[in-house]
Amino acid sequence: MSAAILDTPLATPRAAPVRLHTAFAVIAALAVGFAITALVSDAPVRAFLALITGALPDIRWSDAQGFEVRRLVRFGSVVEDAITLTFLGLAIAIPFRARQFSLGADGQMFLAALASAGVSLYMPGPWFVVLPLAFTAAIATGFVWGLVPGLLKARYSANEIVTTLMLNVIAIQFYRLLISEHLRDPNAGFLVTPVFPSAALLPGLMPHTNVSAMLFVVPFVVAAGWAFLMRTTLGYEIRTVGQAAPFARQVGMPVTRAVVLSMAVGGAFAALAGVHIGNALLKRLPVDLSPGLGFEGLVVALLARNDPKAVPLAAFLYAYLRTGAQAMERTTDVSREVVLVIQAFIILFVVSQRLLPAGWPRALLRRRGNTALKLEQA
């Protein structure tokens, strides 16, 4: 690929101006979304209000029954999505810290879900046997599938954007093949696996929603992601390679190994999203599980500036908007895909370097670092 200089600054630890920029980007994107809504809707303000507040639970007080919380189901779906997106955000953020543009989260997620389904359906035993095994199988699968583009990059200098996209296709087709041919439920009217036995399901937390015990897993996973990057030698290598590859080479860091493993570890995190979808949300795997969540993970990672600590918040914000969009669609004449438009503009605004005029310590972060970022030279 010709020189594609990744100018996106990496995680910026303490720059308040950066958070300002991000906030500004989100607001600007919402404004654009509003403008588009206004073009097609008769009541754009009402629609947009529904977007912003639609995901909130409805807390009322009446004399007769005291506090009542309604629409928890809707809020529940925000939480569900946020969990999935947190995992996916981490899956993208970690390779990104090594300046690797790994878009393979979709494929890793699908294959991991498949592995987990295999264990869930065929492994007998109580939950404390099945679940850990399912997790392990999934994580191992995601790790290995993430290793592939890394190795292709290391051995053949194959650009990871193209390879991960191709691998996604392969993974998803394999998923569909396996579900159609080997894992399908003969009794179901459509192509889907049988429902997982209860030993393989994560216990629910909120009634009528799919919010499950996975919620408790999230803080640990986020902490693990943070600890991996900031407290392990491998994480340190990944960050240094991403920030200053010539320096890393000069001091003898195993640069290639760091690059390869960054993608593999990303795959492990994507795997958790797969387990979440299969063992918590859907409780079975349909053949037509739609791909594309990986790209949403990308937006989350960008919003969080590739900082694990910020990923859950970004994921939540994202999921919140998504669910709000669904609410908006139900109550107004605006369809929920407008949130995709907002997504796109969030991305565009967030990665714009010259959005707000001067006055940022950008030079601090980008000085000389960019010479290391040019892909390909003769």
Partner 1 sequence: MHTSATNEAAAIEMRAVSKRYANGTLANDGVSLRIARGEIHAIVGENGAGKSTVMKMLYGLEQPSAGEIFVNGVPVHFADPREAIAAGIGLVPQHLELVGSFTVAENVVLGCEPMRGLLVDRRRAETEVAAVSQRFGLGVDPRAVVRELSVGEQQRVEILKTLYRGARIVLLDEPSAVLTPHETGALFMALRRLVSAGCTVVLITHKLSEVRDVSDRFTVMRAGKVTGEWVSLSVRDADFAEVITGRPVPSLRVTRRVRQVFGQEIEQNKVPLVAVRRLALQGHDGRAQLEALSFDIAAGEILGVAGVEGNGQAPLAEVLGGLRGPSEGSATLDGEVFTGRGVRAVRARRVASIPADRLHDGVAAGMTITENVIAVDYHRPPLSRRGWLDVRAAREATRRLLADYGVVARSADEPIASLSGGNMQKVVLAREVASRPRLLIASQPTRGVDVAAAQFLRQRLVDLRDSGAAVLLISSDLDEILALSDRIAVMYRGRIVAHFPADTDAGELGLYMTGLRGDAATAATLDAPLTQVSTQASEQAGKKEMV
Partner 2 sequence: MSVETASLGMLVATIVVAVLRATTPILFAALGGLISDLTGSINVALEGLMLIAAFFGVIAAVHATSWFPGLPGWVYPWIGCIAAIAAALLATLLLAFFHLELGADLIVAGIAINILAAGLTVFLLASIVGDKGSTAGLHSPALPSIRIPGVDQFPILDMLLNGEGGRGHHVLIYLAFAAAPAGAFLLARTRYGMWMRAVGENPQAAAVAGIPVKRVRYAALLLSGLLAALGGVYLSMGYLTLFQADMTAGRGFLALAAIFLGARRPIGTLAAATLFGASSVLATRLGAIDIPTQVVYMIPPLFTLCALAFVGRRRGSLQRAAPF
Kindly list the residues in this chain that would bind partner 1 in the complex (CB under 8 A).
10, 230-234, 236, 239-240, 243-244, 246-254, 364-369, 371-372, 378
158 in contact with partner 2 (CB under 8 A): yes
345 in contact with partner 2 (CB under 8 A): yes
Cα–Cα dist 343/186, whole Å: 39
30 in contact with partner 2 (CB under 8 A): no
> At 125, which amino acid appears?
G
In terms of CB distance, is 49 or 365 closer to partner 1?
365
Task: Tokens 């937390």: give the residue.
Answer: 205
Binders of partner 2 among 180-209, rule CB under 8 A? 180-181
Q: Are 208 and 73 in contact (CB under 8 A)?
A: yes
The helix (run of H) or strand (run of E) holding residue 61 is strand 58-62
Q: Least Å distance between CB 256 and partner 2? A: 6
247 interface partner picked from partner 1, partner 2, none, CB below 5 to 8 A per type = partner 1
Task: Tokens 């630890």: give the residue.
Answer: 13
Which residues, at least 6 apart from 369, have a Cβ–Cβ distance to it below 8 Å? 243, 244
Around Cβ 214, how many Cβ atoms within 10 Å? Answer: 24
259 in contact with partner 2 (CB under 8 A): yes
136 in contact with partner 2 (CB under 8 A): no
Closest by Cα among 322, 335, 329 to 55? 322
Instruction: Enter the tokens of residue 263.
Output: 């993608």
282 in contact with partner 2 (CB under 8 A): no
Q: Least Å distance between CB 247 and partner 1? A: 5
243 interface partner picked from partner 2, partner 1, none, CB below 5 to 8 A per type = partner 1
162 in contact with partner 2 (CB under 8 A): yes
Task: Tokens 């803080």: give the residue.
Answer: 219
Residue 216's beta-bridge partner residues?
Answer: none
Cα–Cα dist 145/77, whole Å: 29
In terms of residues, how long is the chain? Answer: 378
Cα–Cα dist 258/239, whole Å: 9
Quick one: which of 174, 204, 282, 313 contacts partner 2 (CB under 8 A)? 174
226 in contact with partner 2 (CB under 8 A): no
**Contact footprint for partner 2 (CB under 8 A):** 1-4, 6-8, 36, 40-41, 99, 101, 152-159, 161-163, 165-167, 169-170, 173-174, 176-177, 180-181, 245-246, 249, 256, 259, 292, 295, 298-299, 302, 333-335, 337-341, 343-345, 347-348, 351-355, 372, 374-377
